Structure 1
Amino acid sequence: MRVQRDGRLVRATLDRPPVNAFDTAAYRWLTEVCDGMRPDECLLIDAAGRVFSAGHDRNEPADGEGLTLGAGALTAVLRCPAPVVVAAQGPAIGAGALLLAAADVPLIAADAWLSLPELDVGVTVGHGILSRLLPPAVASRVLLTSERVPAEQLAAAVVVPAEELSSAAEGAARVLLGKPFELVSLARRSWGERERAATAYESEVAAFLSRGF
Protein backbone atom coordinates (compact mmCIF):
# COMPACT_ATOMS: atom_id res chain seq x y z
CA MET A 1 0.00 0.00 0.00
CA ARG A 2 1.33 3.43 -0.83
CA VAL A 3 0.31 7.06 -0.86
CA GLN A 4 1.55 9.73 -3.28
CA ARG A 5 0.81 13.44 -3.07
CA ASP A 6 0.74 15.83 -6.01
CA GLY A 7 -0.30 19.16 -4.57
CA ARG A 8 -3.84 18.69 -3.31
CA LEU A 9 -4.31 15.39 -5.16
CA VAL A 10 -3.66 12.37 -2.94
CA ARG A 11 -3.37 8.99 -4.67
CA ALA A 12 -3.76 5.94 -2.44
CA THR A 13 -2.83 2.70 -4.21
CA LEU A 14 -3.73 -0.75 -2.91
CA ASP A 15 -0.81 -3.01 -3.77
CA ARG A 16 -1.13 -6.45 -2.18
CA PRO A 17 -0.32 -9.06 -4.83
CA PRO A 18 -1.74 -11.15 -6.25
CA VAL A 19 -5.36 -9.94 -5.85
CA ASN A 20 -5.24 -6.89 -3.54
CA ALA A 21 -7.26 -8.56 -0.80
CA PHE A 22 -8.00 -6.51 2.30
CA ASP A 23 -6.40 -7.72 5.51
CA THR A 24 -6.31 -5.98 8.89
CA ALA A 25 -3.37 -3.80 7.89
CA ALA A 26 -5.02 -2.75 4.62
CA TYR A 27 -8.25 -1.79 6.35
CA ARG A 28 -6.35 0.28 8.90
CA TRP A 29 -4.29 1.91 6.15
CA LEU A 30 -7.42 2.94 4.24
CA THR A 31 -9.03 4.31 7.39
CA GLU A 32 -5.95 6.35 8.28
CA VAL A 33 -5.65 7.76 4.75
CA CYS A 34 -9.28 8.90 4.74
CA ASP A 35 -9.13 10.34 8.25
CA GLY A 36 -6.02 12.32 7.33
CA MET A 37 -7.54 14.07 4.31
CA ARG A 38 -8.39 17.79 4.24
CA PRO A 39 -11.57 19.22 2.67
CA ASP A 40 -9.53 21.12 0.08
CA GLU A 41 -7.88 17.92 -1.19
CA CYS A 42 -9.12 15.07 -3.38
CA LEU A 43 -8.49 11.40 -2.68
CA LEU A 44 -7.95 9.09 -5.64
CA ILE A 45 -8.00 5.39 -4.73
CA ASP A 46 -6.72 2.85 -7.23
CA ALA A 47 -4.98 -0.52 -7.23
CA ALA A 48 -1.93 -2.12 -8.78
CA GLY A 49 -2.10 -5.18 -11.01
CA ARG A 50 -4.93 -6.72 -13.00
CA VAL A 51 -7.40 -7.14 -10.11
CA PHE A 52 -8.83 -4.13 -8.31
CA SER A 53 -9.59 -6.12 -5.18
CA ALA A 54 -10.76 -9.62 -4.33
CA GLY A 55 -12.29 -8.25 -1.15
CA HIS A 56 -11.71 -9.51 2.35
CA ASP A 57 -8.60 -11.66 2.76
CA ARG A 58 -9.81 -15.24 3.16
CA ASN A 59 -6.92 -15.92 5.53
CA GLU A 60 -8.64 -13.72 8.12
CA PRO A 61 -12.10 -14.36 9.62
CA ALA A 62 -14.89 -12.30 8.06
CA ASP A 63 -16.46 -11.80 11.45
CA GLY A 64 -15.83 -9.98 14.70
CA GLU A 65 -12.76 -7.78 14.56
CA GLY A 66 -12.17 -8.28 10.84
CA LEU A 67 -15.69 -7.25 9.91
CA THR A 68 -15.58 -4.32 12.30
CA LEU A 69 -12.30 -3.07 10.84
CA GLY A 70 -13.59 -3.51 7.31
CA ALA A 71 -16.77 -1.63 8.09
CA GLY A 72 -14.73 1.13 9.70
CA ALA A 73 -12.61 1.48 6.57
CA LEU A 74 -15.60 1.68 4.23
CA THR A 75 -17.47 4.17 6.40
CA ALA A 76 -14.25 6.21 6.61
CA VAL A 77 -14.37 6.47 2.81
CA LEU A 78 -18.00 7.60 2.96
CA ARG A 79 -17.17 10.15 5.66
CA CYS A 80 -13.86 11.29 4.16
CA PRO A 81 -13.55 15.10 4.48
CA ALA A 82 -12.31 15.25 0.87
CA PRO A 83 -14.14 14.07 -2.25
CA VAL A 84 -13.19 10.53 -3.28
CA VAL A 85 -12.52 9.13 -6.75
CA VAL A 86 -12.13 5.35 -7.08
CA ALA A 87 -10.75 3.67 -10.21
CA ALA A 88 -11.38 -0.08 -10.55
CA GLN A 89 -9.80 -2.39 -13.11
CA GLY A 90 -10.57 -6.08 -13.40
CA PRO A 91 -12.69 -7.80 -10.75
CA ALA A 92 -14.01 -5.80 -7.79
CA ILE A 93 -15.30 -8.35 -5.30
CA GLY A 94 -16.86 -7.99 -1.87
CA ALA A 95 -15.16 -5.15 -0.01
CA GLY A 96 -13.58 -4.12 -3.32
CA ALA A 97 -17.01 -3.62 -4.88
CA LEU A 98 -18.20 -1.70 -1.82
CA LEU A 99 -15.12 0.52 -1.98
CA LEU A 100 -16.03 1.43 -5.56
CA ALA A 101 -19.63 2.10 -4.48
CA ALA A 102 -18.44 4.39 -1.67
CA ALA A 103 -16.80 6.84 -4.10
CA ASP A 104 -18.12 10.26 -5.02
CA VAL A 105 -16.93 9.49 -8.54
CA PRO A 106 -16.63 5.75 -9.25
CA LEU A 107 -14.80 4.82 -12.43
CA ILE A 108 -14.55 1.28 -13.77
CA ALA A 109 -12.81 -0.26 -16.77
CA ALA A 110 -15.17 -1.38 -19.51
CA ASP A 111 -13.99 -5.00 -19.24
CA ALA A 112 -14.25 -5.11 -15.43
CA TRP A 113 -17.00 -6.50 -13.22
CA LEU A 114 -18.07 -6.67 -9.61
CA SER A 115 -19.69 -9.25 -7.39
CA LEU A 116 -20.79 -9.49 -3.78
CA PRO A 117 -20.42 -13.14 -2.65
CA GLU A 118 -21.10 -12.08 0.93
CA LEU A 119 -23.72 -14.72 1.73
CA ASP A 120 -21.44 -17.40 0.27
CA VAL A 121 -18.73 -16.51 2.80
CA GLY A 122 -21.14 -16.21 5.71
CA VAL A 123 -21.95 -12.51 6.04
CA THR A 124 -25.03 -10.47 5.15
CA VAL A 125 -23.75 -6.90 4.93
CA GLY A 126 -23.23 -4.47 2.05
CA HIS A 127 -26.65 -3.33 0.89
CA GLY A 128 -26.42 0.16 2.38
CA ILE A 129 -23.31 0.97 0.35
CA LEU A 130 -24.02 -1.08 -2.77
CA SER A 131 -27.29 0.83 -3.19
CA ARG A 132 -25.22 3.91 -4.08
CA LEU A 133 -24.06 2.09 -7.22
CA LEU A 134 -27.13 -0.01 -8.07
CA PRO A 135 -30.87 0.51 -7.54
CA PRO A 136 -31.84 -0.91 -4.12
CA ALA A 137 -33.85 -3.83 -5.51
CA VAL A 138 -31.00 -4.76 -7.85
CA ALA A 139 -28.52 -4.46 -4.98
CA SER A 140 -30.68 -6.90 -3.00
CA ARG A 141 -30.71 -9.36 -5.87
CA VAL A 142 -26.96 -9.09 -6.44
CA LEU A 143 -26.27 -9.74 -2.76
CA LEU A 144 -28.65 -12.71 -2.63
CA THR A 145 -27.44 -14.34 -5.84
CA SER A 146 -23.72 -13.39 -5.77
CA GLU A 147 -24.02 -12.80 -9.51
CA ARG A 148 -21.43 -10.88 -11.48
CA VAL A 149 -22.37 -7.39 -12.59
CA PRO A 150 -20.47 -6.22 -15.68
CA ALA A 151 -19.29 -2.63 -15.88
CA GLU A 152 -21.82 -1.82 -18.58
CA GLN A 153 -24.68 -2.37 -16.12
CA LEU A 154 -23.35 0.15 -13.59
CA ALA A 155 -25.24 3.26 -14.62
CA ALA A 156 -23.96 5.20 -11.60
CA ALA A 157 -20.31 4.59 -12.51
CA VAL A 158 -18.17 6.17 -15.21
CA VAL A 159 -17.21 3.35 -17.59
CA VAL A 160 -14.05 3.90 -19.63
CA PRO A 161 -11.74 1.77 -21.77
CA ALA A 162 -9.26 -0.07 -19.58
CA GLU A 163 -6.28 1.73 -21.10
CA GLU A 164 -7.83 5.11 -20.25
CA LEU A 165 -8.78 4.34 -16.64
CA SER A 166 -5.80 5.95 -14.92
CA SER A 167 -5.91 9.17 -16.93
CA ALA A 168 -9.70 9.39 -16.63
CA ALA A 169 -9.50 8.99 -12.86
CA GLU A 170 -6.87 11.70 -12.53
CA GLY A 171 -8.91 13.93 -14.82
CA ALA A 172 -11.99 13.45 -12.63
CA ALA A 173 -9.98 14.30 -9.53
CA ARG A 174 -8.62 17.45 -11.20
CA VAL A 175 -12.16 18.53 -12.11
CA LEU A 176 -13.18 18.27 -8.45
CA LEU A 177 -10.07 20.15 -7.36
CA GLY A 178 -10.96 22.91 -9.80
CA LYS A 179 -14.18 23.71 -7.95
CA PRO A 180 -14.43 25.83 -4.76
CA PHE A 181 -13.70 23.28 -2.07
CA GLU A 182 -16.02 25.01 0.39
CA LEU A 183 -18.96 24.39 -1.96
CA VAL A 184 -17.89 20.82 -2.67
CA SER A 185 -17.65 20.16 1.06
CA LEU A 186 -21.02 21.78 1.79
CA ALA A 187 -22.71 19.84 -1.00
CA ARG A 188 -21.37 16.49 0.19
CA ARG A 189 -22.53 17.22 3.74
CA SER A 190 -25.88 18.83 3.02
CA TRP A 191 -27.06 16.20 0.55
CA GLY A 192 -26.70 13.68 3.36
CA GLU A 193 -26.74 10.54 1.25
CA ARG A 194 -23.18 9.53 2.13
CA GLU A 195 -23.96 9.65 5.84
CA ARG A 196 -27.20 7.73 5.28
CA ALA A 197 -25.27 5.02 3.47
CA ALA A 198 -22.65 4.86 6.24
CA THR A 199 -25.32 4.66 8.94
CA ALA A 200 -27.27 1.99 7.05
CA TYR A 201 -24.12 -0.08 6.61
CA GLU A 202 -23.24 0.24 10.29
CA SER A 203 -26.75 -0.96 11.16
CA GLU A 204 -26.30 -4.00 8.91
CA VAL A 205 -22.99 -4.84 10.58
CA ALA A 206 -24.46 -4.43 14.06
CA ALA A 207 -27.43 -6.66 13.18
CA PHE A 208 -25.13 -9.33 11.78
CA LEU A 209 -22.82 -9.29 14.79
CA SER A 210 -25.78 -9.59 17.17
CA ARG A 211 -27.49 -12.38 15.20
CA GLY A 212 -29.15 -15.05 17.26
CA PHE A 213 -28.25 -18.17 15.27
Structure 2
Amino acid sequence: MTDAPVKTRRTGHILEVTLDRPKANAIDLATSRIMGEVFTEFRDDSDMRVAIVTGAGEKFFCPGWDLKAAADGDAVDGDYGKGGFGGLQELRGLNKPVIAAVNGICCGGGLELALSADIILAADHATFALPEIKSGTVADAATVKLPKRIPYHIAMEMLFTGRWIDVEEAARWGMVNHVYPAADLMSEAHKLAELLASGPPLVYAAIKEIVREAEDMNFQDAMNRITKSQFATVETLYRSEDQLEGARAFSERRDPVWKGK
Protein backbone atom coordinates (compact mmCIF):
# COMPACT_ATOMS: atom_id res chain seq x y z
CA MET A 1 0.00 0.00 0.00
CA THR A 2 1.33 3.41 -0.94
CA ASP A 3 -0.14 4.99 2.21
CA ALA A 4 1.35 2.41 4.58
CA PRO A 5 3.14 4.07 7.53
CA VAL A 6 6.12 1.74 7.14
CA LYS A 7 7.56 0.96 3.73
CA THR A 8 10.11 -1.74 3.00
CA ARG A 9 12.42 -2.45 0.09
CA ARG A 10 14.63 -5.49 -0.35
CA THR A 11 17.86 -5.21 -2.33
CA GLY A 12 19.82 -8.43 -2.32
CA HIS A 13 20.50 -9.23 1.34
CA ILE A 14 19.60 -5.70 2.47
CA LEU A 15 16.25 -4.57 3.91
CA GLU A 16 15.45 -0.85 3.80
CA VAL A 17 12.77 0.21 6.29
CA THR A 18 11.28 3.69 5.86
CA LEU A 19 9.02 5.30 8.45
CA ASP A 20 6.51 7.29 6.39
CA ARG A 21 3.86 9.10 8.43
CA PRO A 22 3.44 12.69 7.26
CA LYS A 23 4.06 15.27 8.46
CA ALA A 24 6.70 14.26 11.00
CA ASN A 25 7.07 10.45 10.94
CA ALA A 26 5.83 10.18 14.52
CA ILE A 27 5.10 6.69 15.80
CA ASP A 28 1.70 5.67 17.17
CA LEU A 29 0.80 2.28 18.60
CA ALA A 30 -0.32 0.81 15.27
CA THR A 31 2.86 1.94 13.51
CA SER A 32 5.04 0.57 16.31
CA ARG A 33 3.34 -2.82 15.96
CA ILE A 34 3.95 -2.80 12.21
CA MET A 35 7.62 -1.96 12.77
CA GLY A 36 7.86 -4.81 15.25
CA GLU A 37 6.54 -7.25 12.67
CA VAL A 38 8.94 -5.90 10.03
CA PHE A 39 12.01 -6.23 12.23
CA THR A 40 10.92 -9.63 13.53
CA GLU A 41 10.63 -10.90 9.96
CA PHE A 42 14.05 -9.40 9.22
CA ARG A 43 15.53 -11.16 12.24
CA ASP A 44 14.05 -14.51 11.24
CA ASP A 45 14.72 -14.37 7.48
CA SER A 46 18.03 -16.10 6.82
CA ASP A 47 18.32 -14.37 3.43
CA MET A 48 18.30 -10.89 5.00
CA ARG A 49 21.65 -9.82 6.47
CA VAL A 50 21.52 -6.04 7.05
CA ALA A 51 18.75 -3.52 7.70
CA ILE A 52 18.66 0.24 7.14
CA VAL A 53 16.05 2.28 8.99
CA THR A 54 15.29 5.83 7.90
CA GLY A 55 12.48 8.37 7.63
CA ALA A 56 10.61 9.59 4.59
CA GLY A 57 11.15 13.13 3.37
CA GLU A 58 13.98 15.55 4.07
CA LYS A 59 12.96 17.16 7.37
CA PHE A 60 12.19 14.41 9.87
CA PHE A 61 13.82 11.13 10.76
CA CYS A 62 11.40 10.64 13.64
CA PRO A 63 10.24 12.79 16.59
CA GLY A 64 9.19 9.72 18.53
CA TRP A 65 5.81 9.23 20.15
CA ASP A 66 2.78 10.62 18.30
CA LEU A 67 1.27 13.08 20.76
CA LYS A 68 -1.74 13.69 18.52
CA ALA A 69 -2.54 9.98 18.59
CA ALA A 70 -2.09 10.05 22.36
CA ALA A 71 -4.61 12.90 22.60
CA ASP A 72 -7.01 10.76 20.58
CA GLY A 73 -6.70 7.81 22.95
CA ASP A 74 -3.39 6.01 22.28
CA ALA A 75 -2.10 5.11 25.75
CA VAL A 76 1.59 5.75 26.36
CA ASP A 77 1.72 2.38 28.12
CA GLY A 78 -0.25 0.63 25.38
CA ASP A 79 0.70 -2.33 23.19
CA TYR A 80 3.77 -1.31 21.18
CA GLY A 81 4.04 -4.80 19.70
CA LYS A 82 7.06 -7.01 19.20
CA GLY A 83 10.34 -5.34 20.05
CA GLY A 84 8.73 -2.57 22.06
CA PHE A 85 8.55 1.01 20.83
CA GLY A 86 9.60 1.20 17.19
CA GLY A 87 10.12 -2.56 16.98
CA LEU A 88 13.86 -2.48 17.66
CA GLN A 89 14.90 -1.52 21.14
CA GLU A 90 13.57 -4.60 22.94
CA LEU A 91 13.62 -7.14 20.11
CA ARG A 92 15.31 -10.25 21.45
CA GLY A 93 17.87 -12.16 19.43
CA LEU A 94 18.37 -9.54 16.72
CA ASN A 95 21.88 -10.63 15.76
CA LYS A 96 22.18 -8.81 12.45
CA PRO A 97 23.63 -5.35 11.73
CA VAL A 98 21.17 -2.45 11.70
CA ILE A 99 22.07 0.97 10.29
CA ALA A 100 20.11 4.11 11.15
CA ALA A 101 20.19 6.72 8.38
CA VAL A 102 19.10 9.89 10.18
CA ASN A 103 17.76 12.24 7.54
CA GLY A 104 16.60 15.15 9.71
CA ILE A 105 15.06 15.87 13.09
CA CYS A 106 15.71 12.99 15.47
CA CYS A 107 14.33 13.48 18.96
CA GLY A 108 12.60 11.73 21.83
CA GLY A 109 11.63 8.23 20.87
CA GLY A 110 13.13 8.85 17.44
CA LEU A 111 16.54 9.24 19.03
CA GLU A 112 15.86 6.10 21.06
CA LEU A 113 15.07 4.31 17.79
CA ALA A 114 18.36 5.49 16.28
CA LEU A 115 20.26 4.42 19.41
CA SER A 116 18.81 0.93 18.94
CA ALA A 117 20.76 0.60 15.69
CA ASP A 118 24.38 -0.58 15.58
CA ILE A 119 25.68 2.21 13.36
CA ILE A 120 24.25 5.72 12.94
CA LEU A 121 24.80 7.75 9.77
CA ALA A 122 23.40 11.27 9.60
CA ALA A 123 22.64 13.96 7.05
CA ASP A 124 24.46 17.23 7.56
CA HIS A 125 21.26 19.00 8.64
CA ALA A 126 20.22 16.41 11.24
CA THR A 127 19.49 17.58 14.79
CA PHE A 128 19.03 15.63 18.02
CA ALA A 129 17.29 16.14 21.36
CA LEU A 130 15.52 14.47 24.25
CA PRO A 131 12.75 17.00 24.98
CA GLU A 132 10.71 14.74 27.28
CA ILE A 133 11.82 16.74 30.33
CA LYS A 134 9.80 19.71 29.04
CA SER A 135 6.58 17.68 29.07
CA GLY A 136 7.20 16.22 32.50
CA THR A 137 8.06 12.71 31.41
CA VAL A 138 11.16 10.55 31.13
CA ALA A 139 12.99 9.35 28.02
CA ASP A 140 13.22 5.87 29.50
CA ALA A 141 15.24 3.96 26.89
CA ALA A 142 17.53 6.93 26.26
CA THR A 143 18.13 7.31 30.00
CA VAL A 144 19.45 3.75 30.00
CA LYS A 145 21.38 3.91 26.74
CA LEU A 146 22.72 7.40 26.15
CA PRO A 147 25.08 7.70 29.17
CA LYS A 148 26.74 4.49 27.95
CA ARG A 149 27.15 5.79 24.38
CA ILE A 150 28.48 9.31 24.85
CA PRO A 151 30.25 11.12 27.73
CA TYR A 152 28.16 10.90 30.89
CA HIS A 153 28.02 14.65 31.50
CA ILE A 154 26.85 15.40 27.95
CA ALA A 155 24.16 12.72 28.14
CA MET A 156 22.92 14.02 31.48
CA GLU A 157 22.80 17.58 30.17
CA MET A 158 20.66 16.44 27.24
CA LEU A 159 18.36 14.47 29.55
CA PHE A 160 18.09 17.24 32.17
CA THR A 161 17.63 20.21 29.81
CA GLY A 162 16.14 18.80 26.61
CA ARG A 163 18.55 20.97 24.61
CA TRP A 164 19.10 20.38 20.91
CA ILE A 165 22.46 19.50 19.43
CA ASP A 166 23.43 19.75 15.78
CA VAL A 167 25.02 16.94 13.81
CA GLU A 168 28.56 18.28 14.24
CA GLU A 169 28.24 18.11 18.02
CA ALA A 170 26.60 14.69 17.82
CA ALA A 171 29.57 13.46 15.79
CA ARG A 172 32.04 15.07 18.19
CA TRP A 173 30.58 13.13 21.12
CA GLY A 174 30.46 9.90 19.13
CA MET A 175 26.68 9.70 18.87
CA VAL A 176 26.89 9.28 15.09
CA ASN A 177 29.49 7.43 13.03
CA HIS A 178 29.55 9.56 9.87
CA VAL A 179 27.96 12.74 8.52
CA TYR A 180 27.09 13.12 4.83
CA PRO A 181 25.40 15.70 2.61
CA ALA A 182 21.69 14.97 2.68
CA ALA A 183 21.65 14.00 -1.00
CA ASP A 184 24.29 11.34 -0.36
CA LEU A 185 22.96 9.83 2.87
CA MET A 186 21.04 6.87 1.50
CA SER A 187 23.63 5.96 -1.12
CA GLU A 188 26.29 5.96 1.60
CA ALA A 189 24.04 3.89 3.86
CA HIS A 190 23.63 1.33 1.08
CA LYS A 191 27.39 1.26 0.43
CA LEU A 192 27.97 0.39 4.06
CA ALA A 193 25.11 -2.11 4.05
CA GLU A 194 26.56 -3.83 0.99
CA LEU A 195 29.93 -4.07 2.70
CA LEU A 196 28.33 -5.64 5.76
CA ALA A 197 26.13 -7.93 3.67
CA SER A 198 29.26 -9.31 2.00
CA GLY A 199 30.70 -10.24 5.39
CA PRO A 200 30.25 -13.34 7.57
CA PRO A 201 26.74 -13.32 9.11
CA LEU A 202 27.61 -15.87 11.79
CA VAL A 203 30.46 -13.66 13.01
CA TYR A 204 28.12 -10.65 13.15
CA ALA A 205 25.69 -12.71 15.20
CA ALA A 206 28.44 -13.70 17.63
CA ILE A 207 29.66 -10.10 17.93
CA LYS A 208 26.18 -8.80 18.70
CA GLU A 209 25.42 -11.48 21.29
CA ILE A 210 28.76 -11.01 23.04
CA VAL A 211 28.42 -7.22 23.11
CA ARG A 212 24.85 -7.43 24.39
CA GLU A 213 25.44 -10.07 27.06
CA ALA A 214 28.85 -8.80 28.19
CA GLU A 215 27.65 -5.25 28.83
CA ASP A 216 27.04 -5.93 32.52
CA MET A 217 29.83 -8.50 33.02
CA ASN A 218 33.41 -7.98 34.05
CA PHE A 219 36.02 -8.80 31.43
CA GLN A 220 37.11 -12.18 32.78
CA ASP A 221 33.55 -13.48 33.22
CA ALA A 222 32.76 -12.56 29.63
CA MET A 223 35.93 -14.21 28.36
CA ASN A 224 35.17 -17.35 30.36
CA ARG A 225 31.75 -17.59 28.77
CA ILE A 226 33.28 -17.30 25.31
CA THR A 227 36.02 -19.87 25.87
CA LYS A 228 33.58 -22.29 27.50
CA SER A 229 31.20 -22.01 24.50
CA GLN A 230 28.44 -20.53 26.63
CA PHE A 231 27.28 -18.13 23.93
CA ALA A 232 24.98 -19.92 21.48
CA THR A 233 26.09 -17.83 18.50
CA VAL A 234 29.78 -18.47 19.21
CA GLU A 235 29.15 -22.20 19.48
CA THR A 236 27.26 -22.12 16.17
CA LEU A 237 30.08 -20.17 14.53
CA TYR A 238 32.83 -22.55 15.66
CA ARG A 239 30.89 -25.56 14.34
CA SER A 240 29.91 -23.94 11.04
CA GLU A 241 30.83 -24.41 7.40
CA ASP A 242 31.67 -20.69 7.34
CA GLN A 243 34.39 -21.21 9.95
CA LEU A 244 36.07 -23.76 7.68
CA GLU A 245 35.47 -21.58 4.63
CA GLY A 246 37.28 -18.66 6.24
CA ALA A 247 40.37 -20.77 6.89
CA ARG A 248 40.29 -22.32 3.41
CA ALA A 249 39.88 -18.96 1.69
CA PHE A 250 42.84 -17.55 3.61
CA SER A 251 45.09 -20.48 2.72
CA GLU A 252 43.95 -20.41 -0.92
CA ARG A 253 44.39 -16.62 -1.15
CA ARG A 254 40.87 -15.97 -2.34
CA ASP A 255 37.78 -14.13 -1.06
CA PRO A 256 35.59 -16.29 1.18
CA VAL A 257 32.06 -17.22 0.16
CA TRP A 258 29.90 -16.89 3.26
CA LYS A 259 26.74 -19.02 3.48
CA GLY A 260 25.66 -18.22 7.01
CA LYS A 261 25.74 -21.86 8.02
Mark yes or no: TM-score above 0.5. Answer: yes
4+ runs deviating over 6 angstroms: 66-69, 193-196
Identity percentage over the alignment?
29
**1:9, CA displacement in angstroms?**
0.5
Choose which of 50, 59, 66 in structure 2 pairs with 1:57.
66
* Superposition deviation, residue 194 in structure 1: 9.1
Structure 1 CA distance for aligned equivalents of residues 195 and 23 of structure 2: 32
Give the equivalent residue in structure 2 for 1:34. 39
For the structure 1 residues 164 and 83, does the alpha-carbon distance in structure 2 shift closer, same or farther, using more than 3 Å as the test?
Answer: same
Give secondary structure in 2 for the equivalent of 1:75. Answer: coil
1:21 to 12, 17, 26: 26
1 or 2 for the larger relative contact order (CA 8 Å, sep ≥6)? 1
TM-score under structure 1 normalisation?
A: 0.82
The Cα offsets for residues 155-182 of structure 1, whole Å up to 9 and x where unpaired, read as 2412112111111111111111111111
User: Aligned equivalents of 2:151 and 2:38: distance in 1?
Assistant: 29
Residue 163 of structure 1 pairs with residue 163 of structure 2: no
Q: CA offset at residue 186 of structure 1? A: 0.4
Moved more, 11-20 or 136-145: 136-145
Matched, 1:172 2:192: yes
- 1:94 & 1:171 partners in 2: Cα distance? 28
- 1:104: how far off? 0.8
Change (3 A) 1:7 1:104: same
Q: Which amino acid aligns with 1:8?
A: H
Report the equivalent of 2:52. 44
Matched, 1:129 2:134: no
Q: Which structure 1 residue ranges, 5 or more long, are not aligned? A: 197-213
Q: Normalized against structure 2, the TM-score is what? A: 0.68
Which structure: larger Rg? Answer: 2
Q: Which amino acid aligns with 1:130?
A: L
From 103, 114, 118, the equivalent of 2:132 is 118
Count of aligned residue pairs for this structure pair? 196
| Alpha-carbon distance in structure 2 between the residues aligned to 1:23 and 1:112 | 22
Amino acid at match of 1:137: H
Q: Conserved in 1, the CA contact under 8 Å of 2:18 and 2:55?
A: yes
Of the three residues 141, 145, 148, the one matched with 2:164 is 148
